[in-house]
């Protein structure tokens, strides 16, 4: 099951999964970047391309953001193929705005698709994974959440939330041999193409982004779905053209202790100065990944 698979990264994953012999459900609403509108064409077109290559696939145009729809998406896989072995939570939308100008609707719409959608799909599949004593989830996070980005509070929150969701799934379902991992994909997609390029820096960044191939995300994603990765769970990866990353996860890096406890003043005079050498700067994703993709 691959959500948001009518185009871009999701389509590449669905096609690679089919090439590897998987029977695929291609889910896509066919909406605009902001989630408006609906078009059944992209999902069906992706299925046609998979079948033309000799693969097995079926289209689904239900919304992952709706609990009942997510249940029916998984039900389709069971009805057609008899079981469900892997879920890739890739569906997404964007409604960028500077934080102090972001509307409640813009925040909710992005959380609903990315974070709630990942929960809905994972929750719908989990009883079947449990009964089969196997299964793999791959959730798409982003360096916008892991590191930070400008004008994307809704998207950053959703993508960091997905990291927490994935880890919780990995912990709760380990006893059933069910795995859950995240990938932060770097690829030139419709969503990336919405980034403003009206400055010299923006134009240069867009040139770099255009070299990020969507198809490059598929092999590692499909690898995580296989039995060969049965011991890989609770991890956060990144894929950027020919580079694969393992991301760190938050752990204590510096400690301040006072045997008599802390006061406001001692926190200001002692604790914060002790911590300050290890403070993170206000990086954006592009500050950290500053080299050209290879």
Question: Which residues are tagged catalytic?
Answer: 155
Structure tokens at 129: 């994974």
d(CA 139, CA 88): 6
**Distances 283 to 34, 254, 277, 287 between C-alpha atoms, Å:** 26, 20, 16, 6
Report whether 73 contacts 124 (CB < 8 A): yes
- The CA distance from 98 to 224, in Å, is 35
Bridge partners (DSSP) of residue 60 are 27
DSSP secondary structure, 82-129, as one string: S---EEEE-------B-GGG--HHHHHHHHIIIIIHHHHHHHHHHHHH
Provide the token pair at 193: 């193409």
Task: State the pairing for strand pair 23-27/2-3.
Answer: parallel
Contacts of 182 (CB under 8 A, 6+ apart): 138, 139, 140, 141, 162, 163, 166, 235, 236, 237
Other C-beta atoms closer than 10 Å to the C-beta of 243 total 13
| CA distances to 153, 156, 214, 281, 286 from 202, in Å | 20, 20, 20, 22, 11
- Give the integer Cα–Cα distance in Å for 183 and 151: 22
Full DSSP string of 143-177: HHHHT--TTBHHHHHHHHHHHHHHHHHHHHHGGGT
């Amino acid at each position: 099951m691959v959500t948001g698979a009518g185009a871009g990264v999701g389509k590449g994953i669905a096609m690679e999964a089919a090439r590897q012999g998987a029977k695929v459900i291609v889910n896509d609403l066919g909406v605009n970047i902001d989630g408006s509108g609906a078009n059944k064409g992209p999902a069906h077109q992706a299925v046609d391309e998979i079948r033309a290559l000799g693969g097995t696939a079926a289209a689904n145009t239900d919304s992952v953001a709706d609990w009942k729809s997510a249940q029916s998406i998984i039900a389709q896989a069971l009805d057609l193929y008899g079981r469900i072995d892997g879920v890739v939570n890739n569906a997404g939308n964007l409604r960028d705005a500077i934080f102090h100008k972001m509307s409640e609707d813009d925040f909710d719409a992005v959380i609903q698709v990315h974070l709630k959608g990942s929960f809905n799909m994972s929750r719908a599949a989990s009883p079947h994974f449990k009964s089969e004593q196997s299964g793999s989830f791959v959730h798409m996070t982003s360096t916008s959440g892991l590191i930070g980005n400008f004008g994307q509070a809704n998207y950053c929150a959703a993508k960091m939330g997905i990291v927490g969701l994935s880890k919780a799934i990995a912990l709760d379902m380990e006893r059933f041999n069910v795995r859950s991992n995240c990938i932060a994909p770097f690829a030139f997609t419709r969503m990336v193409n919405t980034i403003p390029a009206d400055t010299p820096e923006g134009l240069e960044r867009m040139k770099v982004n255009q070299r990020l191939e969507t198809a490059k995300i598929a092999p590692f994603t499909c690898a995580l779905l296989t039995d060969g990765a049965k011991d890989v769970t609770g991890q956060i990866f990144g894929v950027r053209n020919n580079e694969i990353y393992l991301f760190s996860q938050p752990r204590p890096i510096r400690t301040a202790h006072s045997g008599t406890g802390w006061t406001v003043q001692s926190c200001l005079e002692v604790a914060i100065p002790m911590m300050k050498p290890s403070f993170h700067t206000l990086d954006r994703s592009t500050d950290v990944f500053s080299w050209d993709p290879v």
